[in-house]
Amino acid sequence: MVMQIGKRSIFGRVGAALLRGCLLAACAGLAGGALAQVPPSSAEQSRYTGLFAAAAGGDAARIQTLLAGGAKVDARDGHGRSALHVAAHLRRVEAMRALVAGGANPNLLENDRYDIVTIAAVANDLPTLKEALALGCSAKNITSRWDGTALIAAAHLGHADVVKMLIAAGAPLDHVNNLGWTALIESIVLGDGGARHTATLRALVDAGAKTDIVDRDGRTPLALAQSRGYRDMAALLERPKPRPNS
């Protein structure tokens, strides 16, 4: 129970701040859980047959034979993964190529709403990410239960090189997910202020990501960095903006 003094609660600003902190921690934990994607387990792989077994084993020739024989290229396993998702999780690039050449949809989402670009981005797997983009999976897709993007997921985890590749591929810099966060904000609130997340923030700022989009409490990225004692991040956000060419 919250005791009242007149119309003012002794909970006050301190209590409200604590509540916001708890909510932030809960959201961070939930988002972190969502980013812990579900690759096929060893047990699942042992039960795979046909196209799924060929994808898991990276057997491109077998994939071609099965597709020629009428195998359904976008069939799903128990987690909603297609053979292409399985190949991406297991870094089977040749299998990915064979599947897309055989008609697989490179933008398909599995049950947790991940595509092959986001799978590779979360895994910090640059070769698979490069291949997924080349095969036609869009860096602009809205993915995950948080209505995010691969860029937001990579920024959360401090995968700076992945962030740079996604930016080059046209990922939306300022997309806001259903937690109210952009990639830039996630690099701060779900980062640790260390070298990886600072490099991620630098990549986003250098690419032109907006630094004045606020979170749901009206806090700017600079305020969020300062409140956490992330001095290097704050310094990046305080840099003078380059003047447009006249």
Q: Residue 82: what are its φ and ψ, rounded to 5°?
A: -90, 170
**144 and 194 share one domain:** yes
Average pLDDT, the chain: 88
* Last residue of one domain, picked from the residues 75, 105, 135: 105
Is the pLDDT reported for residue 12 higher than 60?
no
Domain check: are 217 and 121 in the same one? yes
Q: Which pLDDT does position 207 carry in this prediction? A: 98
Regarding whether 100 and 123 lie in a shared domain, the answer is: no
Task: In whole angstroms, give the CA distance from residue 53 to residue 223.
Answer: 50
> Would you place residue 245 in the very low, low, confident or very high pLDDT band (cuts 50, 70, 90)?
low
Give the residue numbers spanning the domain of 83. 40-105
Q: Average pLDDT of 172-188?
A: 98
Q: Is residue 15 part of a domain?
A: no
| pLDDT tens, residue by residue, 56-88 | 999 999 999 999 999 999 999 999 999 999 999
Indicate the residue among 105, 140, 161 that finishes a domain: 105
215 inside domain: yes
Nearest residue to 150 (alpha-carbon basis) of 195, 205, 132: 132
Question: What's residue 241's pLDDT?
Answer: 73
The predicted-structure confidence for 198-242, as pLDDT tens digits, reads as follows 999 999 999 999 999 999 999 999 999 999 999 999 999 998 876
Task: List 222's β-bridge partners, or say none.
Answer: none
pLDDT exceeds cutoff 70 at 2:
no
- Whether residues 166 and 204 share a domain: the answer is yes
* CATH code for position 98: 1.25.40.20
Look at residue 20 and tell me if it is in a domain. no
Do 49 and 151 have their domain in common?
Answer: no
- 209, with CB counted inside 10 A (0-12, 13-18, 19+), is buried
Record the pTM: 0.86
Shared-domain flag, residues 99 and 136: no
pLDDT at residue 11 is higher than 80: no
**pLDDT tens-place string over residues 131-164:** 999 999 999 999 999 999 999 999 999 999 999 9
Higher local confidence (pLDDT), 87 or 246: 87
165 vs 241 pLDDT, higher one: 165
Has residue 140 been placed in a domain? yes
Last residue of a domain, one of 71, 105, 139: 105
Count of domains forming the chain:
2
Q: Is residue 17 part of a domain?
A: no
Residues 160 and 210 in one domain: yes
Residues 191 and 91 in one domain: no
Contact in structure between 198 and 236 (CB atoms under 8 Å): yes
